[in-house]
Amino acid sequence: MSANLDTSIPPRRLAALALLLANLLLASGAALAQAYPSRPVKMIVPFAAGGPTDIYARLMSSEMTAILGQSVIVENRPGAGGAIGAEVVAKSAPDGYTVCFCPTGATVLMPLLEPKLPYNAARDLPPVGEAYRLELAIILGPRVAAGTLAELIALAKANPGKINFATAGAGSTSHLAGELLKSMAGIDMVHVPYKGEHPAMVDLIGGQVDMMIASVFIGEPQVKAGKARMIAITGPTRAERFPDMPTIAETIPGFEATSYFGLHVSAGTPKDIIDKLSAAMATAVAQSRLRERMLAEGITPLGTRPEAYAEHLRLEREKWSALIKQKGISLR
């Protein structure tokens, strides 16, 4: 009669083996993060080359290259309001070698306006940090007899539906800023979407539209030339570039509607790698040559950490989701 051999592993030994395996995995993950980056990092810019987002992504990538000791290479993947580039990153390997230089349009607004996107921004694109805030402004054309935001609101209340405002397009931050202004000020204005800020500005100074909400560096040359008037900016505080220009919040407390740009990676990327990328981005933005250029063009450098960026994105999603539902805003 053959004996039955007990081949089971004793519980204590099994627990020890599990602990050893966990420590090995932690050690290998730490070693991976410590070695990061060991090859070039690809920075996806979800807009065409030559635009302001692309320009500042390249300036920042150059600074990050020096900081990380590996090339940070910009790759343009434009289309669908930034969603195409964001999807590339969302579906990339979670190793920190593919990052998105994403605006809140791709991570907040598009997911709210287009629920059938092939990625879930809140789940699939964990934040690394905010790089900068692009200041927007209310810019009036020659047809509008108002010198302040209060006068514009009074004029709009006296002429409901008679004043129109141009933006870079339906669903853009400037469009939603206009809708937020209408809601919080209790006024009725007509939205006129354009395919970009430049054609909208041409029609503004030509008198075809009354006003527009646009980035300050688009409006500033026309303001200096006396062809348009800037009456307020949309950020939470006055811009360093325009210390005498009031914010909308000074007239309408709590108002804020600006474009934020930050870095994102794919879900599952180790936290140590995210932290290393975040520190490199913050150091890059703080470099005087980049910081001074941003401020000179009405851009506010930030360089926030992942946790602060995540909280800001959460608040932005709550705010814009409520407005989109209230106003029934759609891209269709």
Three-class HEC string of the chain? CCCCCCCCCCHHHHHHHHHHHHHHHHHHHHHHHHHCCCCCEEEEECCCCCCHHHHHHHHHHHHHHHHHCCCEEEEECCCHHHHHHHHHHHCCCCCCCEEEEEEHHHHHHHHHHCCCCCCCHHHHCCEEEEEEEECEEEEECCCCCCCCHHHHHHHHHHCCCCCEEEECCCCCHHHHHHHHHHHHHCCCCEEEECCCHHHHHHHHHCCCCCEEEEEHHHHHHHHHCCCCEEEEECCCCCCCCCCCCCEHHHCCCCCCCCEEEEEECCCCCCHHHHHHHHHHHHHHHHCHHHHHHHHHCCEEECCCCHHHHHHHHHHHHHHHHHHHHHHCCCCC
How long a stretch of residues is the chain?
Answer: 332
Look-up: residue for tokens 């979407």?
193
Q: Give CA separation, 174 vs 50, 137, 223, 325, in Å.
A: 20, 9, 18, 17
Give the Cα separation of 31 and 23 in Å (integer).
Answer: 12
pLDDT at 136 over 50: yes
Nearest Cα to Cα of residue 96 among 265, 261, 262: 265
Whole domain around residue 316: which residue ranges? 40-134+259-327
Are residues 246 and 140 part of one domain? yes
pLDDT at 205 over 90: yes
Are residues 161 and 174 part of one domain? yes
CATH code where residue 143 lies? 3.40.190.10
Last residue of a domain, one of 250, 279, 298: 250
What would the mean pLDDT of 127-153 be, rounded to a whole number?
95
What would the mean pLDDT of 316-331 be, rounded to a whole number?
93
Are residues 61 and 85 part of one domain? yes
At residue 3 the predicted structure's pLDDT band, cuts being 50, 70 and 90, is very low
Are residues 288 and 199 part of one domain? no
- Give me the helix-helix angle, 288-296 and 271-286, nearest 10°: 70
Are residues 150 and 246 part of one domain? yes
- Here the tokens at position 98 are 């593919």
Are residues 272 and 129 part of one domain? yes
**Model's pTM, two decimal places?**
0.84
What would the mean pLDDT of 163-189 be, rounded to a whole number?
95
Can you give the pLDDT at residue 21?
Answer: 57
- Here the tokens at position 244 are 């005498």
- Cβ contacts of residue 309 below 8 Å, gap of 6+? 127, 128, 129, 130, 262
Q: Give CA separation, 130 vs 187, 260, 313, in Å.
A: 33, 7, 10
Are residues 263 and 119 part of one domain? yes
Are residues 152 and 95 part of one domain? no
pLDDT at 142 over 70: yes
pLDDT tens by residue, 7-66: 455 656 655 555 555 555 554 445 545 699 999 999 999 988 888 888 899 999 999 999
Are residues 78 and 110 part of one domain? yes
Can you give the pLDDT at residue 1?
Answer: 42
Domain tally for the chain?
Answer: 2
What would the mean pLDDT of 214-237 be, rounded to a whole number?
92
Give the Cα separation of 82 and 223 in Å (integer).
Answer: 29
At residue 218 the predicted structure's pLDDT band, cuts being 50, 70 and 90, is confident
At residue 298 the predicted structure's pLDDT band, cuts being 50, 70 and 90, is confident
Report the mean per-residue pLDDT for the chain: 90
pLDDT tens by residue, 229-246: 999 999 999 988 889 999
pLDDT tens by residue, 61-83: 999 999 999 999 999 999 888 89
Most confident of 65-69, 167-171, 328-332: 65-69
Give the Cα separation of 39 and 36 in Å (integer).
Answer: 8
Which residues does residue 130 pair with via DSSP β-bridges, in sequence order? 262
On whether the CB atoms of residues 138 and 248 are closer than 8 A, the answer is yes
